[in-house]
Amino acid sequence: MTLIVRTRFLKAEGTWFDYEYFDGKHLPLLRRRHARHGLLEAELRPGAADDEHANVRFVYRDEASFVAALNDMDEILRDLARATNATMDLRLEQFGETELGAEAERRARRAARARAANHGARDRESRGAPTA
């Protein structure tokens, strides 16, 4: 079963989170290192709640892939200190193939709608039509 790891970086007095560094340097490092262990996806989002700087969603092929990735964390943890000093809160979820496929399909539909809306706005702008 596919394993999804949701990581929240919690806000507290004196904590910081460098979103640019995390997205531009740390996450690509993690993707490179963990792809060989079965990391399928890693996505950074701004904090959705008042108590979090950001959250990251990782999708691993299965639990064994995640365990293998955990054993390859030295470089990643050293680099993480450059991105944040916030405490991490990890949540694990397992999905069967059908649930993961349904989620992937929902995400693809949302992305397609966003691209279509963006394309429509650019088309209206090129014709000089109001965009709103």
Fold designation for 2-95: Alpha-Beta Plaits (3.30.70)
pLDDT above 60: residue 123: no
pLDDT at position 96, please? Answer: 63
Ramachandran class of 106: left when φ > 0, alpha when ψ lies in -120 to 50, beta otherwise:
alpha
pLDDT in tens, 66-81: 999 999 999 999 999 9
In which band, very low, low, confident or very high, does the pLDDT at 98 lie, cut at 50, 70 and 90?
very low
pLDDT at position 48, please? Answer: 85
Distance CA 29, CA 6 (A): 18
pLDDT in tens, 33-48: 999 999 999 999 999 8
